[in-house]
A = this chain, B = another copy of it.
Amino acid sequence: MKTRIIAILTGNGKGKTTSAVGTIIRALGHGHRVLLLQFMKETESGEIKFLKTLRNPNLKIIQSGRGFFKIKGDHSTEETHKKYATLAIKLLQKELKSFSPTLTVLDEINTACSLGLTDAKQVVESIMKNPKTHFILTGRNAPKEFRTIANLITEMKEVKHPFNEGIHAQAGMEF
């Protein structure tokens, strides 16, 4: 690693998680060790299904979330959501030590912080304590704390979206 990258993928447009997954594939192609930690998610999307079938020892995948929060489909209390986010942070701290990845993807961490499920400062602490791994932080509404320490920020801007034309989410494209 020449310089450690702290990247934020934010904005309301499509492409944040898929871009992180693409970078995981890129990093694996170079033989890097990758930790993918998903906040808030609980279902096996196409990409998680596929990544798991790889059984690649250089890739560790952890999901610690309960899905939709305070919108249609939410089936958990706020306390439960917070419990899963707190667990995710603990697992992050553990894996940074034991697995020692060279790329760490914290998927939906921006959303989890902006909704108050976990504290951005705690995440920043973990990032700063571990300078030997790149970080990718995805999700809408990236908090200021992340923007300050990041050296790469891309905002995915929605210009056109099929949902607005009444087209529903489809397997293989949206999840």
A positions within 8 Å CB-CB of B: 1-3, 5, 7-9, 11, 13-30, 32, 45-51, 53, 102-103, 134, 147, 150-162, 165, 167-168, 170-173, 175
Contacts and interface: CB of A to CB of B under 8 A. Distances in A.
B154 A1 contact: no
Contacts of A29: 45-51, 53, 172
A13 B154 CA distance: 6
A168 to B, nearest CB: 6
Nearest to A56: B50
A32 B161 contact: no
18 contacts: A3-B168, A5-B162, A5-B167, A8-B160, A14-B154, A17-B22, A18-B21, A22-B25, A25-B47, A26-B45, A28-B50, A29-B172, A103-B172, A151-B162, A155-B156, A155-B157, A156-B156, A157-B157
